Structure 1
């Protein structure tokens, strides 16, 4: 079998098909191209297109092409970025109670203890820890249990009792209930005050009862627990968020949970997994320390910093490596940015071709550069009728169809009615329009770009996601739409358009027989019925809108044509 590469002819015609017009092609003059001049461009190792160019700006004077980093960050009027850890107080866990007592709970006055003695002496009672921290056992006397852990009280009481009953006496002691404690919360919390809880409850429980920490004033990194005006524990919630470490002291009546004022903060936006307002442990920290909290995405290449120093406001834009050593201070705003645009795009090949179907090429590659590296079998491939499928064009076609449908709905639903009979007709028309627009919105345009005509191929610049379609040579003509028997018919050079329609059973009652869409192998859509039929063409008979029942005939007909051009579909 004889395989060959593309032989590109001089460009004479180029057009991009859209859903707004039925005129698909137009002349475009270019210089002649020769196969020897077509080479695949090599990916560049340098960034030639910088999506953003911003520099240090201390005097508010920008050169042409520069962008102040301040413009990229949230303005003062925008909603505040939440503090890191604010979601700790989003749940409803303050309503959840634990049935079992904490083994590390310290016995306090008012607690109830179940006591059993059997053997030489039988005794059973529920005793209460008195104000001096003792329980009283007959014939034994007071036993001090205050500040003893719950899992150790059995061993302590048993040892004390057996000092009196040395033989044939068994002892079992169990903490039955714990006395609630009253804890005070103060500082920058939402609802400071006095709250009841169990001594074994965590500091998070009491903070949640108080509404959480005030995100604008309170510190997540310095929470003190005071007992008799002395600090017995200091808690950094960042340790709990990142490592799961949480100091859990046993609370007593009168303990105070004091949330200290917020320390220096830095706001993080942009390409980070944790875009929050971070509180610094020290007055200044480096970009490397902030990155450990913010977790910037792997694609981040540059960092913008906006803030104030002793000499006034500033804005800096630096690469990510330089940011690691940069010194950050209170009030700084940091933007992690992906500013290295991909220099390689992915292009797919579809239809009749040999070799791979995906190509990674330089973003400056044109169609001829790629075609010169695609092998085909000229006996199977219709290489003179190639076209592109482009996602950006499909999206634009979808938007234009949607705009036309919205305009149709507005014209129908806002049309006045002068009588009850006309109002009934309008209501029926609106119902039919709703069914039509609902179905029309489900159509997905193809995004065809017409690049060939009579063997000439336009050397257009390729885009990310383009699909180059090389049609297969075929001897069939597809006949569809409003015909009785949609089917494929063998091409006959002597046959006319009416012959192919007749072979498909003829028109249906709803067919618009005056204008029939002919979809060429190169993707071009024509509506002139006097054109000859060629191999690989698709004949599409469109439906007709009944002028007796529909007032918006012109708008609906236009949308039907738009959809036929954009998606090769005859919607009823």
Structure 2
């Protein structure tokens, strides 16, 4: 069968006996009324009235039990239902005015034999209530070569019964399951003719045929009949013809109709049921940016506008789900501390004030977060339908090739233009796209820009085609008097992604340097010093791993340095940068400070004074002894970085004389011992100023590093 089907099909019914179970004799259950007593059964007897007696009596080898003061009574051969009347009749011969109760307290065990093609042939001790099927389970059932349709029960020299296990497996029929008696022999003969059923059939397996029950319909009935998902028009029947020496295997087609179901099967046949076609005969499919991607019933004369009767059919469920999420109730903040007590030590009368302030603070923070989410939802909801293009996918049944038939969705649905409101055919797939699926021309793209801070009307705006930063601010009313143009923060998502990619590449290079550094150091030390230096190298490696962990925590912000003039503070100072979707502009107010970080005694912020230079800030901050002044740099408010090495020329002015603008930060790195644990960092990264400038990192990165 495996050679023909390519599959290792199971033998039908074999899984029923797959579980290995222990069948110990069951002796403590109540037997039915028709159970016949025999040697070894134990009778529970109770007598009350003129005499009182409670005892258990075992049926002896003569089939009798002996009742005290009454004598021996033969009970073997009588049923449980007749046990009490029989015993009462014997007791009444000796005593009068008595009541009697009798039952079987313990069943006898019987010994039977399972022989032939069994999984585990042998002798089995079973309960006297056991049947032939119980004995088959105890022996593991028929083996791979054993029959399930002609199992024999022999008692002495007589054939008591022959059973077909298929009736039990397929229908649960145990009417022909005979009870066992001591010494019975169960014979499992070799299997008869077999056929295989495979393909679109839930009970694909190898089946045993039985004389007089070998038709296709009778065989399929074992698994529930002809499946719904099998085509009734055609099935394949492979058959072995021993008389054809050159090609003994043959195949024929049969239909699973009444005539085909009467087809007789014979040994070696393989019946393959074919699945029905997955094609829908009267359906068209609507998919893509639509409310419900579904198959719809096709009708004669159906067109695109019939499939999409109104624009609302193109609004996806996600759009409404996002909107509904913003009006869901927020949970109240929980009281801090055990048993409702505050942890801040406030007197009881101040708790309501404290709780109110906490609630207001939490609600304010929640409101801010929710507001940001609402603004972000604008960007998610901007995935507008591409009204200029949709497509019908159609299978040409003559050439078996796929055709793509494009059309203008807006003209078809909104205007019912006959040129674009195309007729549909059964099996068509209509795909609707949005602007994220297919990039639209610039003038038709929906671009949302977020602008905040010191502008006349902060908000989220839809940018016009080709509109620049300067033009947008002018359109919404311009700048406020407090605007600090030099400190404009301009962030772009595409830039952030590229910066983060570059940062990840830098970290990957550092990790590669770290992995090879330890072995290189030990090799340079030589064998005599390597053992002594192993502990030092391991400690250094752990420190370097911590530094790498700090680097991995950095995230680029996508800020674009606008390189603004520090002396101009007007709208005209902004460059004409064309805006892209997702851009974010923050126009800050003029800060009143400059800052100093790094190897300085007073790491702090200082009041900005016109004309204050780098030298002035370093003087009041105080450079420490380990400060690396040659590597000092200024992180300017516009996002650019100015390093001392960049201002070393005669005509560019010195670094120390650089006039600081509000919001500028002076950074003095620490000196690095070339033999210290940071050696690999300084070798791999030559210039921190370049990292900060090119990877979109700012003050937060300086604090981290």
Normalising by the residue count of structure 1, what TM-score does the alignment of the two structures yield? 0.56
Compute the displacement of 1:166 (Å): 6.3
* 1:239-291 deviation per Cα after TM superposition (whole angstroms, max 9, x unaligned): 22233221443322211111122122211111112112222221662222122
Give the equivalent residue in structure 1 for 2:228: 298
Give the equivalent residue in structure 1 for 2:389: 386
1:105–1:199 Cα contact (<8 Å) kept: no
Higher strand residue share: 1
1:231 aligns to 2:159 (yes or no): yes
- Find the aligned partners of 2:44 and 2:290 in 1 and give their Cα distance: 87
Compute the displacement of 1:187 (Å): 1.1
* 1:465-499 deviation per Cα after TM superposition (whole angstroms, max 9, x unaligned): 94522669999834599x99xx9632424515997
Give the equivalent residue in structure 2 for 1:512: 495
- Find the aligned partners of 1:323 and 1:488 in 2 and give their Cα distance: 72
1:284–1:330 Cα contact (<8 Å) kept: no
Q: 1:315 aligns with which of 214, 233, 251?
A: 251
- Find the aligned partners of 2:46 and 2:290 in 1 and give their Cα distance: 91
Q: 2:10 aligns with which of 65, 74, 82?
A: 82
Q: 1:548 aligns with which of 489, 506, 512?
A: 506
* 1:500-546 deviation per Cα after TM superposition (whole angstroms, max 9, x unaligned): 899996326x8537xx9xxxxxxxxxxxxxxxxxxxxxxxx995333
The alignment partner of 1:327 has SS state of: coil
2:21–2:138 Cα contact (<8 Å) kept: no
Q: 1:92 to 1:204 in 2, by over 3 A?
A: farther
Alignment of 1:4-403 (within 5 A): 74-75=2-3, 78=6, 80-91=8-19, 94-95=22-23, 99-103=28-32, 104-162=34-92, 164-165=93-94, 167-214=96-143, 216-246=144-174, 247-282=176-211, 285-294=214-223, 295-301=225-231, 302-309=234-241, 311-312=243-244, 313-321=249-257, 322-340=259-277, 342=279, 343-348=281-286, 358-361=295-298, 370-371=303-304, 373-374=306-307, 384-387=387-390
2:29–2:106 Cα contact (<8 Å) kept: no
Compute the displacement of 1:297 (Å): 1.7
- Find the aligned partners of 2:127 and 2:260 in 1 and give their Cα distance: 47
Q: 1:96 to 1:144 in 2, by over 3 A?
A: closer
Give the equivalent residue in structure 1 for 2:464: 492
2:24–2:126 Cα contact (<8 Å) kept: no
- Runs of at least 5 residues in structure 1 that lack an aligned partner in the other structure: 1-72, 391-448, 517-540, 553-567
The alignment partner of 1:194 has SS state of: strand
Q: 1:92 to 1:300 in 2, by over 3 A?
A: same
1:351–1:471 Cα contact (<8 Å) kept: yes
- Find the aligned partners of 1:283 and 1:174 in 2 and give their Cα distance: 46
Normalising by the residue count of structure 2, what TM-score does the alignment of the two structures yield? 0.47
Compute the displacement of 1:183 (Å): 1.0
How large is the Cα RMSD of the aligned pairs?
4.9
Compute the displacement of 1:138 (Å): 4.4
1:511–1:544 Cα contact (<8 Å) kept: no
- Find the aligned partners of 1:205 and 1:105 in 2 and give their Cα distance: 17
- Find the aligned partners of 2:212 and 2:241 in 1 and give their Cα distance: 13
The alignment partner of 1:326 has SS state of: coil
Give the equivalent residue in structure 2 for 1:564: none
- Find the aligned partners of 1:242 and 1:498 in 2 and give their Cα distance: 82
Compute the displacement of 1:106 (Å): 2.4
- Find the aligned partners of 1:498 and 1:319 in 2 and give their Cα distance: 77
Compute the displacement of 1:336 (Å): 0.6
The alignment partner of 1:337 has SS state of: strand
Compute the displacement of 1:463 (Å): 10
Alignment of 1:438-449 (within 5 A): none
1:198–1:251 Cα contact (<8 Å) kept: no
- Find the aligned partners of 1:181 and 1:169 in 2 and give their Cα distance: 35
1:451–1:458 Cα contact (<8 Å) kept: no
2:40–2:108 Cα contact (<8 Å) kept: yes
Q: 1:252 to 1:275 in 2, by over 3 A?
A: same
- Find the aligned partners of 2:509 and 2:421 in 1 and give their Cα distance: 42
2:25–2:125 Cα contact (<8 Å) kept: no
- Find the aligned partners of 1:95 and 1:488 in 2 and give their Cα distance: 77
Q: Alignment length, in residue pairs?
A: 389
- Find the aligned partners of 2:105 and 2:311 in 1 and give their Cα distance: 91
* 1:184-215 deviation per Cα after TM superposition (whole angstroms, max 9, x unaligned): 1011101101011111123333222222211x
- Find the aligned partners of 2:133 and 2:499 in 1 and give their Cα distance: 68
Q: Which moved more, 1:134-143 or 1:288-297?
A: 134-143
1:479–1:501 Cα contact (<8 Å) kept: no
Q: Which has the higher contact order (CA 8 A, sep 6+)?
A: 1
Compute the displacement of 1:134 (Å): 1.4
Compute the displacement of 1:303 (Å): 1.0
